[in-house]
């Protein structure tokens, strides 16, 4: 049985990943910042596989690794999904606090989780980082969204570095854009359902191999510009 860990699995795209991977027979571990907000996740996977994690907290990142390690868990896939959008504003209203917080969660969080989990990645493991087209410098023709765009562009850079650092261990690292999806972050007017986005991303993850490591794709499998 294949095993994966999904961050921010209590709602939105992360919860949908948990649902779909579970129904495909994967052993799913999911994280949530609080157990009291993880009831829907606990309806899908057993309570003991729900782990508390705020990805900006170093002690919690280590605690997640320790819990998995003690249970002899080896991961075949990690989905760095947890993310925040701290602002949607233009240059007149930017705030340093928003930028720093977005960097902690969207950029440093995924990298520090990978760092902590190094001892428990299987040979052939796939590390999937849920990025955003808003993090593409090439695609930015509308401006704004400073904290979000900058933090996802930084995540994209980390994907390239991690892909090179981990290739010798046969671990692949990708950035995926889920589309504009109807979640709390994406809002009710987004065109893509969680089901369609995640279904597409799982197909993409299935099809990618180590030769595609360090690349950026959308949920339809199209390669995106950095
Ligand atoms: N929806 C879109 O259109 C869209 C487009 C492009 C990219 N994305 C990316 O897709 C991912 C999932 O987004 P979503 O649309 O599902 O958003 P969402 O509905 O707002 O869910 C975000 C998830 O991240 C968790 N989270 C937030 N801060 C965290 C932290 N510090 N530590 C751990 N978990 C934290 C949330 O937990 P709480 O419940 O505790 O807040 C929640 O589980 C994000 O990385 C987002 O940037 C989304």
Q: Report H helices in 24-145.
A: 39-42, 58-70, 96-102, 109-117
* Separation of CA 10 and ligand 1 centre (Å): 9
- Long-range contacts at 205-211 (CB < 8 A, ≥ 24 apart): 205/77, 205/126, 205/128, 205/174, 205/176, 208/126, 208/172, 208/174, 209/172, 210/124, 210/167, 210/170, 210/172
Residue nearest to atom 31 of ligand 1 (CA): 54
**In this predicted structure, what is the pLDDT of residue 170?**
98
Ligand 1 neighbours (beta carbon < 6 A) = 7-8, 10-14, 33, 37, 53-56, 81-84, 105, 130, 132, 177-178, 180-181, 183-186, 190
| Ligand 1 pocket test target in 37, 41, 82 with most atoms within 8 Å of CB | 82
Residue 159 Cα to ligand 1 middle (Å): 18
170 vs 22: CA distance, rounded Å: 25
pTM over 0.95: yes
**Whose C-alpha lies nearest to ligand 1, atom 38?**
33
**Res 89: pLDDT:** 85
The reported pLDDT for the residue numbered 61 is: 98
Average pLDDT value over all residues in the chain: 98
Instruction: Specify the residue with its C-alpha closest to ligand 1, atom 19.
Output: 12
The CA-to-CA distance between both ends of the chain, in Å, stands at 34
* Residue 149 confidence (pLDDT) above 90: yes
pLDDT of residue 22: 98
The pLDDT of residue 1 is above 90: no
User: Ligand 1 centre from 106 Cα, in Å?
Assistant: 9
To the nearest 10 degrees (0 to 180), the angle between helices 58-70 and 109-117 is: 30
| Nearest in space to 181 (alpha carbons), one of 196, 170, 169 | 196
pLDDT of residue 25: 98
> CB under 8 Å to 99, separation ≥6 — which residues?
86, 146, 147, 150, 151
How sure is the predictor about 59, in pLDDT bands with cuts at 50, 70 and 90? very high
Find the farthest-apart pair of alpha carbons in the chain and give their distance in angstroms, rounded: 52
Q: Give the Å distance between the CA of 118 and the centre of ligand 1.
A: 23
Position 88 confidence tier, pLDDT thresholds 50, 70, 90: confident
Closest CA to 79 of 137, 40, 125, 25: 125
Q: What is the mean pLDDT of residues 70-77?
A: 98
Q: For 25-48, write each residue's pLDDT tens digit.
A: 999 999 999 999 999 999 999 999
Task: Label residue 51 by pLDDT band (50, 70, 90).
Answer: very high
Q: In whole angstroms, how large is the CA radius of gyration of the chain?
A: 16
User: What's the pLDDT score for residue 115?
Assistant: 98
CATH ID of 3-218, from 3.30.460.10, 2.40.50.100, 3.40.50.300, 3.40.50.720: 3.40.50.720
pLDDT (0 to 100) of residue 143: 96
**% pLDDT > 90, the chain:** 98
Arithmetic mean of pLDDT, 148-163: 98
Domain ranges in the chain are 3-218
Ligand 1 centroid to residue 9 C-alpha, Å: 9
Closest among 176, 165, 166 to 204, alpha carbons compared = 176
Residue bearing the CA closest to ligand 1, atom 30? 54
Answer yes or no: is pLDDT of 87 > 90. Answer: no
Dist. CA 35–CA 127, nearest whole Å: 25
């Amino acid at each position: 049985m294949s095993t994966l860990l999904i961050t921010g699995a209590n709602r939105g795209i992360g919860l949908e990943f948990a649902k779909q991977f579970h129904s495909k027979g994967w052993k799913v571990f999911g994280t949530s910042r609080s157990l009291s907000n993880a009831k829907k996740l606990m309806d899908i996977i057993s309570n003991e596989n729900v782990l508390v994690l705020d990805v900006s907290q170093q002690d919690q990142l280590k605690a997640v690794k320790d819990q998995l390690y003690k249970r002899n868990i080896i991961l075949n896939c990690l989905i760095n999904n947890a993310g925040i959008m701290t602002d949607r504003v233009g240059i007149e209203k930017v705030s340093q606090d928003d930028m720093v917080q977005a960097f902690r969660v969207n950029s440093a969080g995924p990298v520090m989780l990978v760092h902590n989990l190094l001892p428990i990645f299987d040979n052939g493991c796939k590390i999937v980082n849920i990025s955003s087209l808003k993090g593409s410098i090439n695609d930015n023709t509308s401006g704004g969204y400073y904290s979000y765009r900058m933090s996802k562009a930084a995540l994209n850079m980390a994907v390239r570095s991690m892909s090179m650092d981990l290739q010798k261990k046969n671990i692949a690292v990708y950035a995926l854009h889920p589309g504009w999806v109807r979640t709390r972050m994406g809002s009710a007017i987004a065109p893509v359902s969680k089901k369609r986005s995640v279904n597409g991303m799982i197909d993409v993850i299935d099809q990618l191999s180590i030769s595609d490591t360090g690349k950026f794709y959308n949920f339809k499998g199209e390669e995106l510009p950095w």
